[in-house]
Amino acid sequence: MDNISIAATLRSPKISFDFTHNKFNISGESYPENVSEFYSPLIKEMEAYLSSVVNADIEFCFELIYFNSSTAKILLELFDMLDEAAHRGNRVDITWTYEVDDDNLKELGQEFGADLQHARFSMQEITL
């Protein structure tokens, strides 16, 4: 499985999916013109990877500064997929960062994290 690296644009995040080392990162801003066009290939790759991986230490870091509601739907889908992989015996660590004083991203992190049953979840405040 080829690693995925996509540079950030004004409206789409930087993507780093390192399948070799089980490390994943989404950072920046996300309100692309067509959310499903941007994320569908990534979700598909993640699905294929997660369905095949066993007994792995998976780290997924969400470092978003801003995302719209269509992106939120994708993020929640990723959370659910990762939780399912943890349920099947992988060790999954999800980190959610939010900018100091960004009550909204902090609250969304708490809400998304609260629904996880199996993955470990931590939040990190950052200063830009």
Partner 1 sequence: MASLADDLYQLKSQFDRDNLLFCYSGFFTQEVLEGIGVALRAKLAVEQTERRVAKNLFSVFVEQVQNVVRYSAEKDEGDSEQGGETVLRYGILLVGRRAGGYFVSCGNLVRDEDVERLRGELAIIETLSREELMIQYKQALRRPPPPGCKGANVGFLDIARLAGGGVEFDFTQVREGYSFFAMNALM
Interacting residue ranges for partner 1, rule: CB under 8 A: 10-11, 31, 33, 35, 66, 68-70, 72-73, 76, 99, 101-104, 107, 111, 115
Name which of 52 and 68 has its Cβ closer to partner 1. 68
CB of 94 to partner 1, least distance (A): 16
CB of 88 to partner 1, least distance (A): 21
Please check whether residue 46 is in contact with residue 81, taking contact to mean a CB–CB distance below 8 angstroms: yes
Distance CA 27, CA 14 (A): 5
Distance CA 35, CA 114 (A): 25
Please state the length of the chain: 128
Q: Which amino acid is at 13?
A: P
Name which of 59 and 113 has its Cβ closer to partner 1. 113
